[in-house]
Amino acid sequence: MSKRILFNFGYYRKGWIAPIESLGPGTEVIYVFYTSPDQEGDKFTTHRVIYWDDFTSAQHLLDEIVPDRIVFMSVDSLYSITLNFVARKRGIETFILQHGVYSTYKEYRQRDKRTKKIEEKKQPAPVVKTNALGFFKASVKLTDVFSFIKFPFYLLAKRSEGVFYANYWFTFSAKKPSYYISYTPHTARYFEETEHPRKEQLLFIGNPDMDPFFASVPPNPFTDKYYLLIDQAMADNRYGQVIYSTQQAIDFYLKLNAFCLSKGARMKVKLHPESYNSNWLPRHENIDWIKDGDLPALIHHAEGCFGYFSSLIVPALYFNRCVLFKVVNHDLVTDAQVWGLAQLLDYTTFSIDEIDFSVVSRNGMDSFVQRYLYFKDGTSSERLRSILMR
């Protein structure tokens, strides 16, 4: 039987929605993310898209769309909390689906603090007018008040300290989904720390980002020897989570390029989507800046991979040798070093003479698989489909 599934997911990032886009026949996918079309940027789906402000209430949305399931990236906005609450009252199952490699509350809290300091130095962002408050008022009845006792405190904490702090200290029943779909028990820790789900509410599918990598090894599309940097938006991105200055980032790129040149190899950089439009990236005849491409081929055939904390570094750690750079605390990076899957260097102070791929022993691969892959069969997206179609 076909299922109509509503996804509250950012379809401007291809990687985020890849498992959704691969659900296949029997699933009717609908997205809701932006309040109105004028907010829309990149769009990596051909499925139907709706907008929050097209609806006066959650009941209005549910009556018109009639979804069998609703899947959220997170339930922390006024719109998503309201929709989750009303949908569950109607008996519609709701889910939070992990995207990327989740961290712990402690590590997310450090990000909140860093972002807050940066935002205080920036000009205030323009206020985007939405109908969120009207949507909430039209959806929630007076008899629902006890389900929202902590709601005012949650909104205040989110505004003053950040979403991770608010989720940790002021979670409440109305914002909790029916189920949490996570890659592995280890990456579900954030849910356990903030939402305290019952054991049966946690569903594990493995890492969908790995699925393409477990297919046959693709042929090498490149004739030159190369090293691959799986990049992050260190110096600029839309959320203001700036870690290093543009000059520090430029120095880092050029230093890595000097290493590649010393090995008679090209340097290929798989850019993070938030860096696609950066106009300060250093130009050098030996550096190839890559936005899209055959990622399994890029990783499989590299002489070695450089990276930091990211979802794409997971297949690199599994299929190749890696040198990672510490920029913020993240247990994925620490685990990779402890288990011998990567050398770990400091982002700003490393020298090219320190880079040594031969120290990678890969002795801890079994532990890595248990924590970050869970399954090695390349069918994580199929497990997601099975959950949503049951």
* Residues 98, 182 contacting (CB under 8 angstroms): yes
- State the DSSP H helix or E strand holding residue 346, giving kind and residue range, or none if neither: strand 342-346
CA distance 68 to 318: 37
Q: Looking at residues 162-173, what average pLDDT do you find? A: 92
Which span out of 124-128, 162-166, 321-325 was modeled with the highest average pLDDT?
Answer: 321-325
Please state the domain count of the chain. 2
Query: Domain for residue 212, yes or no?
Result: no
Residues 124 and 86 in one domain: yes
Residues 313 and 326 in one domain: yes
Query: Domain for residue 306, yes or no?
Result: yes
pLDDT of residue 301: 96
* pLDDT band with cut points at 50, 70 and 90 for residue 119: low
Query: Domain for residue 255, yes or no?
Result: yes
Query: Domain for residue 277, yes or no?
Result: yes
Query: Domain for residue 91, yes or no?
Result: yes
152 residue type, one letter: P
Residues 188 and 256 in one domain: no
Asked if residue 125 has pLDDT above 80, the reply is no
| Least trusted range by pLDDT, from 48-52, 69-73, 168-172 | 168-172
205-259 confidence digits (pLDDT tens): 999 989 999 988 888 888 899 999 999 887 776 555 567 888 999 999 999 999 9
Asked if residue 97 has pLDDT above 70, the reply is yes
Which span out of 40-44, 79-83, 147-151 was modeled with the highest average pLDDT?
Answer: 79-83
User: Structure tokens of 12?
Assistant: 């401007």
pLDDT of residue 57: 97
pLDDT of residue 54: 95
Residues 247 and 363 in one domain: yes
15-37 confidence digits (pLDDT tens): 899 999 999 888 999 999 999 99
Residue 292's Cβ-count burial label (10 Å; 0-12, 13-18, 19+) is: exposed
Give the mean pLDDT of the chain. 91
Long-range contacts of 83-89 (CB under 8 A, 24+ apart): 83/8, 83/58, 83/139, 84/174, 84/175, 84/176, 84/177, 85/58, 85/139, 85/140, 85/144, 85/147, 85/174, 85/175, 86/57, 86/58, 86/59, 86/62, 86/139, 86/140, 87/58, 87/62, 88/177, 88/178
Strand order, beta sheet including 226-230: 287-290, 266-270, 226-230, 305-307, 322-326, 342-346
State the helix-helix crossing angle for 132-139 and 78-89, rounded to 10 degrees. 20
pLDDT of residue 30: 98
| Least trusted range by pLDDT, from 48-52, 125-129, 269-273, 311-315 | 125-129
CA distance 225 to 210: 24
CA distance 245 to 238: 15
User: Structure tokens of 100?
Assistant: 């990327």
- For the chain, what percent of residues have pLDDT higher than 90? 73
User: Structure tokens of 233?
Assistant: 């938006």
- Domain assignment of residue 42, given as a range: 3-207+377-389
pLDDT of residue 186: 92
Residues 11 and 120 in one domain: yes
* Residues 211, 227 contacting (CB under 8 angstroms): no
Query: Domain for residue 322, yes or no?
Result: yes
Query: Domain for residue 292, yes or no?
Result: yes
Residues 200 and 256 in one domain: no
Residues 263 and 280 in one domain: yes
Q: Looking at residues 329-353, what average pLDDT do you find? A: 92
Residues 133 and 241 in one domain: no
Asked if residue 199 has pLDDT above 70, the reply is yes
Residues 259 and 345 in one domain: yes
The CATH number for 26's domain is 3.40.50
pLDDT of residue 237: 66
